Amino acid sequence: MEYDAIIILPNNNEGNLPNEVGKIMCELGVDLYKRGLSDRIVTQGLHSNNLELSRNPITLAQALKNYAVSLGVPFNKILKEEHSVDTAGHPILLAKYFAIPRKWKKICVVTSGYHMVRVAYVFERVFGNKLKIDFINDNYLLEDNRKVKDQRDRISVFEKTFEGIKSGDIEEFYKRLYERHPLYKNR
């Protein structure tokens, strides 16, 4: 196996399944799984941080898992991380609950094209040199320069929240997430 896990990041869901972008990312992750690059998939996400979208009782991770199972991945080969609600939380909670306890060495993160710059930055900043990370994207909406610029602008918001934390200091990232991040601090 090339990867300890294939990580599929959420977009939004529509009922019990991911939306169009989420389905594309899930299909990419399932393709990697079926090609034998890992024997494990991790789906991520509690609910969207968009209030209107978060009313769905099915978590983003569960919607991705439902779709992956419908594409032929055995139910028991998919782990769910259902605590994160945004890009900052995805790597921190993945590290805390899965990667560090299981001593993973290499993962592949599947995301959307426009989200790639921020996802790569945040994952590499959180994990530091604790594990090797490959990134795969769907190139979906990559040509939408406004979305790409928005993602770049959000990196500065991440840095303000986690200022002073050294890359790879998972415990400090986890602590700060619940102390200062507005989507987590009241949980």
Structure token pair of residue 125: 């900043």
Tally of CA atoms within 13 A in the half-sphere of 11 that contains its CB:
22
Q: What's the predicted TM-score (pTM) here?
A: 0.91
In tens, the pLDDT along 111-122 reads 987 778 889 999
In tens, the pLDDT along 117-148 reads 889 999 999 999 999 999 998 775 555 566 66
Lowest mean pLDDT among 56-70, 100-114, 147-161: 147-161
Structure token pair of residue 114: 């426009």
Strands (E), 23-91: 41-44, 78-81
Higher pLDDT, 55 or 67: 67
The single residue listed with the structure tokens 């399944």 is: 17
> What ranges do the domains of the chain cover?
5-180
The single residue listed with the structure tokens 């987590």 is: 184
pLDDT band at 34 (very low <50, low <70, confident <90, very high): very high
**Burial environment of residue 46 by CB neighbours within 10 A (0 to 12, 13 to 18, 19 or more):** buried
Q: Selecting from 3.65.10.10, 3.30.10.20, 3.40.630.30, 3.40.50.620, what CATH number does the domain 5-180 have?
A: 3.40.50.620
Q: Give 95's DSSP letter.
A: I
